[in-house]
Amino acid sequence: MTFQHKNLADGQWFAMDIFNQMANIGAEVGRAINWKNKGNQEYSQLAFERVLELLYFTIEDKKNYRRLGELCRLKEVLGDYFVGENQYKSSAENLNKYFYPFNFAARRSV
């Protein structure tokens, strides 16, 4: 598999705490949403692929084993929103709101 985040695949990602990991995922989700809202499906898809890559790294991180349920559900909800039929009725607003606390916590943990 070819990683888009090669430096993170080499171990940097696993050195981050969950707050920084989720804040980074949230930033990519924000990019995917912005491109989707602008009507650029190609860039939105590329950003979503980066989201999935970061989410897979987070799921694989051993220190996050207690959060596997939430992380896997997040993957399901994001997939439904970006490439599915949006059966969960997600919106850009509620997806962004989900990630705001992680951004705040990541800044406080620095």
Q: What is the pLDDT of residues 28-77, one digit of tens each?
A: 999 999 999 999 999 999 999 999 999 999 999 999 999 999 999 999 99
> Which residue in this structure is represented by tokens 């992680």?
102
- Contact criterion met (CB below 8 Å) for 35 and 44: yes
Residue 1 has pLDDT above 60, yes or no: no
Sorted by sequence, the CB contacts under 8 Å of residue 26 that are 6+ apart come out as 96, 98, 99, 100, 102, 103
